[in-house]
Amino acid sequence: MKEQHWKEMIPVDRYVVRTNGVIQDYDRKVLTMLYQPLVGTVCFGLYMTLWSELEQGRLWGKEATHHHLMALMQMNLKAIHQERLKLEGIGLLKTYVKEEEDARVFIYELIPPLTPQQFFNDGVLNVYLYNRLGKTIFQKVKRYFSDPALNSHEFKEVTRSFNEVYKSVQATELAPSLQGENQEAFLADKGFDYVNPAQRAQFLVEDAAFNFDLFLAGLTDSMISKKSITTKVKQAIQKLAFLYGIDPLQMKNVVLDSLNEYDQVDIELLRKAARNFYQLEHGEALPNLSEQVQPPLLRTMQDKKPSSQEEQLMQQLEVTSPKQLLMDLSGGAKPPQADLKMIEDVMFNQNLSPGVVNVLIYYVMLRTDMKLSKAYVDKIAGHWARKNIQTVQEAMHLAKSEHKEYQNWAETKQSSTGKKRKVVRKEMVPDWLNDAGDAQKEEEKVQSESDFEEEKKKLEEELKQLDQELKQHRKE
């Protein structure tokens, strides 16, 4: 279950910024053009704000309180905490805490971003960036970070080696104070670090996210030696399995397709094999935002047993992708490309999480006779984005409290089209909106009481069917 931000830190808690190596000015361009599209402008701003607290060329900043950070960014602590988690997840920040009697002290260690070469060869981040920017802008950004290669056919290297230029030092030439010293003389003093280029950002996928026991059980020594699954290979498998949604049994075949002439796993071949597998299963398109599910950190029902129909629905929306939800609501039919593009645009432009988008889809489709109106969806999505809605629970509660206002938006849109109807039947309303107050008092729009009861019964049957389909989908 997601930890509440106030349990982790409060405004009076102190923090100090450090970096594990000098962050170069060139890194600013990498962060702006490669990472900002992935994490968003607010998260990017948090990194830059923390970076500004470091003096040029130094590893440590000065201690301050979180209230100071809140004032600088003009944000509440909850929002800062959520953006901090994004930096941690993508590998740009490490957080350390020391508990004291009256408060806590945090160390925020900034990690420099990957180099352009590392980023574009990452196999995961580059794919996400491609999806965010599109082919044309992605190619333009890639060219920005590229320069013509050295033509080794026209030029011959004539660089001298060290031993060709310098003579070896004789024992008699060593400084007297150095002759009796050991290697400890060259180490940094205890409690200090040398200022040096840092290890670059690397995001981690937890071991629990991929069942290696099942994967290794599917391999036999006749296929490939299990010694070939090195730590580096395991990390690559975890990332690729997460990105392309490949299960352990499918990954076995992907790995077998990535062996080189020495029967060793080639990381580059592994990436290509994973991508080929995905495209074979899903067509030419790379993984889309609409196929993502709610991140574990934003799930409120992950470790909780549902005690009501509302909580059961919340749990289902947290583990279902927007694309899958559209399919379930349409009886398994493939969603129209226009609907998927609309959802992708909402997730990208409004930075809404998959679970929140699920609530949006569910609400709008049941309110508008199973249709997705772009103008209506965009208006509600913009409202939720301004409210910084992150979880399914928050989205459902806001939909309850603002139900009457959203209904007015829909009616305003209908009147603006000039399509006037003499009789308007009552819209279908999810059970979790039944306590929304005045929104249920539109009896003049109901042709008859029997019509309403019939629609309500129909909705209950649809919810029951959706529940069964989602449970079956999770089992498969």
Question: How distant is the alpha carbon of residue 160 from its chain centre?
Answer: 48
Residue scoring higher pLDDT (96 or 454): 96
DSSP class of residue 25? T
Asked if residue 325 and residue 271 are part of one domain, the reply reads no
Query: Among 253, 287, 321, which residue terminates a domain?
Result: 287
* Total structural domains within the chain: 3
According to DSSP H, which parts of 121-230 are helical? 125-133, 135-144, 162-165, 176-179, 212-217
Q: Is residue 259 part of a domain?
A: yes
Q: Is residue 51 part of a domain?
A: yes
Residue scoring higher pLDDT (259 or 102): 259
Asked if residue 340 and residue 245 are part of one domain, the reply reads no
What tens digit of pLDDT does each residue of 223-258 get?
Answer: 777 778 888 888 888 878 876 778 888 888 888 888
The three-class DSSP label of residue 469 is: helix
Query: Among 287, 315, 336, which residue terminates a domain?
Result: 287
pLDDT at 93 over 90: yes
Structure tokens that stand for 167 in this block:
């003579």
Asked if residue 354 and residue 280 are part of one domain, the reply reads no
Asked if residue 330 and residue 251 are part of one domain, the reply reads no
Say which CATH number the domain at 33 has: 1.10.10
Question: Can you give the pLDDT at residue 448?
Answer: 45
28 CB-near residues (< 8 Å, 6+ apart): 48
Query: Among 113, 147, 176, which residue terminates a domain?
Result: 113
Q: Is residue 314 part of a domain?
A: yes
Neighbouring CB atoms inside 10 A of 13's CB total 18
Asked if residue 316 and residue 281 are part of one domain, the reply reads no
Q: Which sign does the torsion angle of CA 338, 344, 348, 353 carry? A: positive
What tens digit of pLDDT does each residue of 156-178 get?
Answer: 888 887 777 876 555 555 455 54
Asked if residue 397 and residue 368 are part of one domain, the reply reads yes
Alpha-carbon distance 55 to 62, whole Å?
9
Domain, as residue range, for 317: 306-475
Global pTM? 0.49
